[in-house]
A and B are shown apart, each in its own frame.
Chain A
Amino acid sequence: MYSEWIVSILLLIGGAFILIGSIGLIKMPDFFMRLHGPTKATTLGMAGVLIAAMVFFSSTQNGISVKELLITIFLLITAPISGYMLIKSAIHHKLKAKKGTKGLDNVEDD
């Protein structure tokens, strides 16, 4: 009974964060800002959904189910790496940043 409430709240939080990440992907003005939404908000939303799945399967099936933690940890490890590769390729392509962005002088060419 309590687990149903926990699963519902975690699912709603996770879905809201996934939606916020995708709205950020649409609304932000340049690529360097657009990278923030998917790499931070979506990863947090995925962690919420997967922890909800963990609680759900632990309460409906017998025994504790921890295998969803595998995907959570994998996503939390790989999201910064793919963000780093994306930002490196964006710098390599010399994408325009929005006017007023600080720290552009520190960017090195590779």
Chain B
Amino acid sequence: MLETVFLIVFAMIGLSLLLNLWRLVVGPSVPDRILALDTMYINTIALIILYGMSMGTGLYFEAALLIAMLGFVSTVAVCKYLLRGDIIE
């Protein structure tokens, strides 16, 4: 039963990554694209955790934690660059 659920949730997260990619390509303004990238890294964390669960190993946890921290920092850095024209003043 758990293998079927893994497949269904893989399909759900893959579909939402495709929708985010659509917004990233189409998005009419720059904040739209930043928002799409932000959502994409959050979905990638879910995908990596799910892959680790389906392989039965907790080895991918550190990669997910690193993506979470670096993704947050990059979102804030790009927003700061848009706001002030500079990241560290």
Contacts and interface: CB of A to CB of B under 8 A. Distances in A.
A90 B31 CA distance: 6
Contacts, number: 144
A60 B2 CA distance: 13
Contact of B39 (A21, A31, A68, A110): A21
Contact of A46 (B2, B8, B42, B69): B42
B25 to A, nearest CB: 12
How many residues of B sit at the interface, in one of the four size bands?
A: 35 or more
Q: Is the interface of B mostly helix, strand, loop or mixed?
A: helix
B35 A38 contact: yes
Given A25-B39, A85-B80, A71 B68 contact: yes
A85 B23 contact: no
Interface string A23-46: 101100001001101100011011
Interface residues of A, number: 51
B65 A70 contact: yes
A54 B22 CA distance: 32
A95 interface: yes
Interface of B: 1-2, 5-6, 8-9, 12-13, 15-17, 19-20, 22-23, 29-32, 34-36, 38-39, 42-43, 45-46, 49-50, 52-53, 56, 58, 61, 64-65, 68-69, 72, 75-76, 79-80, 82-83
